[in-house]
Amino acid sequence: MQKEELIQLLRDPDICQEIFLIVKNGGKPASPADVNKLAAIKSQLHKVVPQKQAAKSDADKLAAIKAMLHKKAEEESQKAQGVVDAYATMDALSKELSPDKGLDMSTIKDEDEDSVSGVPSDVDGSFANKLALLRNQVQKTNEERSAERKAAAEKKASVSAAEKYTFVLERPCPICGRDTHVVKCKSRLIAETTDLDLCIHYKDFNPYLYRVWACEHCGFAADEQKFTRRIPEKTRDKIMGFLQTANLAMPFVEERTSEQAIQYLEMAILFNELADPSPNRRGNLYLIMAWIYRYDGNTEKEMAALDKAAELFDQSLETESYPVDKMSDTMATYLTGAIHVMRKDYDKATRHLSRIISNQALRSTSPKLFEMARDMWQDIKNAKEKG
């Protein structure tokens, strides 16, 4: 018999059992009693094995159930921790969104969670209402911040316009002698229209806001022309003595508002009244003030400033010798007539304009001014004839 065949026979349980019995009996064939005992043992073994397999299957099932329960417990724990974290987050956010008031969660009454949209049904009503309140607070804060961003963007656009058309430099103050910052307008302004009194409307910018320069140290204010000109010592001492008690110095600002520009103009008029006898210069300051009000659409204050300008120019034409600074008597006459037209005082306007159109030499020396005066005079005449 081959070795492989012998190994194959030994793998058969029945043959192994017979060999076992033969060996047990000393090489003799197994007795019937032994054979029956062995059969009984085999039968018993066949019963035990399925029982062990069944027990193993039950143990596996029990282990699976335990694992499932453990997983469920972990999920419940995580859910509970999530609720705790949500409360903590809401409390922190409420303090951040309203640091002065806070968000008092304890004062909120419990309500049915179905009244709050977007909240899971397994979240209790108290939590749902607190979440709803927080959402409202967040929405309100976002709206406020959006409004702040819009205002900041508008301010930035305004600052950009000022930066586009102006630049800052330093000039010595004619009173205290210290270098001070001033704003000067660039020459690339775009003119759109011109009024009768020569107020020019520029695109996207009002240069008249910066016509007055002011010293940030002593408070002296004047138009650019006077600020850069040497002031007589006697006048300077008088203004310096006044400033030592007046305390008019203001911090430098690169971008002026209309209110700030008007304030500087009033200061310049004050110094003009204090130490400058020229009504022409004060009239010019009031005229610039009227133009600023015109840019802003404040007709009432514009007309009040024009009244003062007209009064001072009338006085100047009667008392001052021209030219004053760079203004000729012809220009002063035209400007005074135009101001009276805008004030609707046509009698005074006609007297001033007639002086210009009766001077035929102006046709060649100042043709544009002559034509403007003639057109205004004709408009007044036509209005009188119709009225």
Q: What is the 3-state secondary structure (H, E, C) of 324-365?
A: ECCECHHHHHHHHHHHHHHCCCHHHHHHHHHHHHCCCCHHHH
User: Are 97 and 138 within 8 A, CB to CB?
Assistant: yes
- Both tokens of 241, joined, read 């003595």
pLDDT given for residue 359 in this prediction: 92
- Supply the pLDDT for residue 117: 46
Domain of 256 in residue numbering reads as 165-386
Contacts of 56 (CB under 8 A, 6+ apart): none
In a domain, 360, yes or no: yes
Longest Cα–Cα distance in the chain: 166
- Whether 207 is covered by a domain: the verdict is yes
**According to the model, what pLDDT value does residue 114 have?**
44
Q: Is residue 152 part of a domain?
A: no
CA distances 227 to 120, 142, 321, Å, are 73, 49, 22
Amino acid sitting at position 172:
P
pLDDT of residue 143: 84
- Residue 367, in any domain of the structure: yes
Structural domains in the chain (count): 1
What is the pTM for the complete model shown?
0.60
Q: Is residue 124 part of a domain?
A: no
> Is residue 283 assigned to a domain?
yes
Residue 118: what pLDDT?
47
* Residue 329 forms part of a structural domain: yes
Q: How far apart are CA 372 and CA 378, in angstroms?
A: 10
Q: According to the model, what pLDDT value does residue 291 have? A: 98
> CA-CA distance, 224 to 214, in Å (whole number)?
9
pLDDT at 53: 55
Average pLDDT per 10 consecutive residues for the chain, totaling 387 residues: 57 62 58 62 53 58 69 67 59 52 44 45 60 74 81 63 86 96 91 96 94 96 94 94 90 93 95 92 97 97 98 96 93 97 95 94 92 93 79
What is the three-class DSSP state of 12? coil
Q: Where are the alpha helices (DSSP H) in 98-203?
A: 125-165
Assigned domain for 184 exists: yes
